[in-house]
Every structure is written in C-alpha cells, then in structure tokens.
Amino acid sequence: MIFSTKTEIPISDMFSDHEISDSLYKGPKSRMKHPFKEQEAVSNMLFESQLQKVQDGIRDKVRDLGLPNYYRPLSTSERRLATCMWFCSIIAGFMGFLFFYL
C-alpha cells in the first residue's frame, strides 16, 4: 500500500507471506494420540511414584527427629464449621446431580 495506488486491502492478504498452517493449531492425528497417551501415563506413574517416595522419606525423617506436628487441633467452633461446610457441599452436590440428570 505504501508503494502503490491501493488504499485498501483485505485482511486475509495483509500477512500472506507469514501465513501459519492451520494444522499447527489442531491436535495430533488420531493415529498419533495413542503413543502420546501411553507415554503420558507412564510419565505420570513414574512421577507419582517418585513423589510418594519423597513424601514417605520426609514423613520418616520427621518421625525420626521427633518434630512436633505442625497442625493444631481444631477448636469446637472450627470443627462445627468444617462439619457444616462438608454437609452443605454434599447437599449442593446432590442438588446439582438432581438438576443435571432430571
């Protein structure tokens, strides 16, 4: 437009030299999804097993060192509030289930 007499061009022609393929925005083809899912499941399993080992090691070390539990016991009002919140969430879930499926 700068070096021509045109004053308007369509938006689709503005960046025609830098066009990106639509296939980049789509996921892998269905025949390629299965190997990726298997690898993802194996990776997740390995990660979770390593994480569990770390958690067990930390728990054992805390017990060996005799460190106190950093969770304080809940007061009566806090316990009552937690019970009420749990009960309300169960009722809300049940009502949502009824509204969704009925």
Going from the C-alpha of 91 to that of each of 78, 79, 86, 94, 96, the distances in angstroms are 20, 18, 9, 5, 8
Tens of pLDDT, residues 76-87:
999 999 999 999
Amino acid 7: pLDDT: 63
User: Model's pTM, two decimal places?
Assistant: 0.39
